[in-house]
Amino acid sequence: MAAIYVRISKDSEDLGLGVARQRKDCEEKAEKNGWSIYDVYEDNDISATRSKVRPQYQRMVRDIEAGRVKAIVVYDVDRLTRTPRELEDVIGWADRLELKLASVTTDIDLSSPSGRAMARMKGTIARLEAEQMSLRLKRKMREIAESRRYMGRRPYGWDWRLDETGNRTHDLVLNKAEQAIVEECARRALGKERGKEANLHTIAQDLNRRVIPTGRPSRGWRSKDVRRMLIRPINIGYQEHNGVLRQGNWTPILDEDTYNRLVERLTDPERVVNRGTPQRYLLSGILKCEYCGQPTRRQYGSVGRSRVKMADGSTKLYEYPRPEAYRCPPPGCQGASQNREALDYMVTEYVIQLLAREGVDLFGGDDAALTRASERVQTIKAEMELAADRWAEAKMTVEQFDRFNARKRPELEQAQLELRQAQPLESMQEFAGAGAREAWEAASLERKRELLRTLESFGLSMTIGKVGRLGPHKRDIPAFNPDTVYLRAGWKAAPAS
């Protein structure tokens, strides 16, 4: 099965035409080679030279490692990567997984030394082109900054000035509607409007309520957007480039006194900001949905209403409580939902009994296993260092060195995992043994959640399914079914009954 990977670095009009053309040529190449297509991986408007993550490339890597993809088809090697490091990963897959690589522009056989040399040469040339492009772009940006014109994305509050032919220049003109929003936000943040300083979150919510465009489609206002907008040097006619602050040739929106007071207030380390809501529920984000694996969240309780037909033909409205629950939220399947208090109690009792029975062995470590794992880690590292010395002394080829490391790296990772598991966990030993219940009851909610996360890393699985139909006569019974609560300790404990 072959993967088609297509990418274009810049798609300013968001049309996807570049990747569409690449895809058509790659499909023809796959058909010519007699390969069936497993999937198409498309990263549009993403560079292959920056540190920015390429989501579809990472998904393709996972499918390659899982053995679902045996070949890659690209338009050219530089569409796949412009970094020699990533290219060596592809060559490593060819060694370890017999992965094939096909290019529309050039035939590349990674199973032969000459084919690998050609791939590395094209990768080196692609890297050179990328670095030269970066150098030219940096020089152009410096020239624009030195000429007092603006560079970068269109700033909120201004529009681009157009030349005689209608093309965009690097000069700015005020956008009156957006200028008014910047001035309003500045007044509210300084308390000059409505008598007191407005919270940035409140300002952002108000802008969203009024459907004020942000300047970027498909995204509403956030408090950090408002803050970033108000403390930009561009507001008083300056821009920063390579650490140097230069005055621009555009009309400012704010005066320097207003701007300085905004910066002083919004960058004050003593200023109270929203640090996030602390967790208030034991299993929120820890308990998983049985069907999709999504972490469940706490759902508010409510009152349900149902009309029941009586014997005389009339209908009667019944109200019944719907208690708080842990539920699989969007974007999950929303299939699992059970009573929060009952689940908290069930999990608490299961964990306390588990810790009383197995906590000493679980958190106390294993001296014999620790010694074995430590020796194994040291042995593998010594073997890898010896191979590196042999390669440096030209007693081993690059291909042999890569194959050796590809074989030893999973062994090292497994040995390091066994080493961590065999070490005693002193931070959790207070919960082990006969004092487990007392330690649990004395612990804070944050500490209990930390313990559950630790047990989860050791192999404890906590999932819930649907409650099932309880019948109309049980409307007042909390929605809880212990038969669809699955607590399993993957190391040695039996499933909860």
Give residues with Cβ within 8 angstroms of 421, minimum separation 6. 369, 458
pLDDT at 354 over 50: yes
| Cβ density class 223-234: b for 16+ within 10 Å, e for less | bebbbebbbbbb
Residue written as token pair 């404890």: 460
CA-CA distances (angstroms) from residue 365 to 55, 161, 418, 489?
39, 69, 11, 17
Q: Specify which residues 462 forms β-bridges with.
A: 487
The runs of H, that is alpha helices, within 153-222 are 176-189, 200-209
Question: Is residue 493 within 8 Å of 362, Cβ to Cβ?
Answer: no
**What average pLDDT does this structure show over 454-465?**
86
* Of 202, 267, 201, 199, residue with least CA distance to 233: 267
Encoding tokens for residue 247?
């005055």
pLDDT at 116 over 80: no
**In the prediction, which pLDDT does 49 show?**
53
**What average pLDDT does this structure show over 159-177?**
87
pLDDT digits (tens, 9 = 90+) for 267-319: 876 665 555 566 788 999 899 998 888 899 887 766 666 677 777 878 877 66
Q: Which residue has the higher pLDDT, 176 or 478?
A: 176
| Cβ density class 293-324: b for 16+ within 10 Å, e for less | ebebbbbeeeeeeeeeeeeeeeeeeeeeebbb
CA separation for the pair 365, 292 (Å, rounded):
34
DSSP string, 28-82: HHHHHHTPPEEEEEEEET--SSSSS--HHHHHHHHHHHTTS--EEEESSHHHH-S
CA separation for the pair 65, 56 (Å, rounded):
14
**In the prediction, which pLDDT does 401 show?**
82
CATH of domain 158-266: 3.90.1750.20
Share of the chain above pLDDT 70, in %: 81
**In the prediction, which pLDDT does 496 show?**
41
Give residues with Cβ within 8 angstroms of 16, minimum separation 6. 42, 44
Q: How confident is residue 497, by pLDDT bands cut at 50, 70 and 90?
A: very low
Q: How confident is residue 126, by pLDDT bands cut at 50, 70 and 90?
A: low
385 φ, ψ (degrees, to nearest 5)? -65, -40
**In the prediction, which pLDDT does 192 show?**
62
**What average pLDDT does this structure show over 9-33?**
71
Is 147 strand, coil or helix? Answer: coil
Least confident of 189-203, 325-339, 445-459: 189-203
**In the prediction, which pLDDT does 276 show?**
53
Encoding tokens for residue 278?
């602390």
**In the prediction, which pLDDT does 391 show?**
80
Return the CATH class of domain 2-141. Answer: alpha beta
Give residues with Cβ within 8 angstroms of 286, minimum separation 6. 295, 449, 452, 453, 456, 462
Q: Which residue has the higher pLDDT, 493 or 278?
A: 278
pLDDT at 410 over 60: yes
Q: What does the angle CA 314 – CA 315 – CA 319 come to, to the nearest 5 degrees? A: 155
**What average pLDDT does this structure show over 215-228?**
81
pLDDT digits (tens, 9 = 90+) for 152-165: 788 899 998 888 88
**In the prediction, which pLDDT does 492 show?**
42
**In the prediction, which pLDDT does 120 show?**
73
Give residues with Cβ within 8 angstroms of 171, minimum separation 6. 149, 150, 160, 161, 249, 250
pLDDT digits (tens, 9 = 90+) for 198-212: 688 888 888 888 888
> Residue 84: is the preceding peptide bond cis (ω within 30°)?
no
pLDDT at 476 over 50: no
Q: Which residue has the higher pLDDT, 392 or 347?
A: 347
**In the prediction, which pLDDT does 279 show?**
75
CA separation for the pair 233, 225 (Å, rounded):
15
Residue written as token pair 């998904």: 59
Question: Is residue 309 within 8 Å of 334, Cβ to Cβ?
Answer: no
**In the prediction, which pLDDT does 174 show?**
93
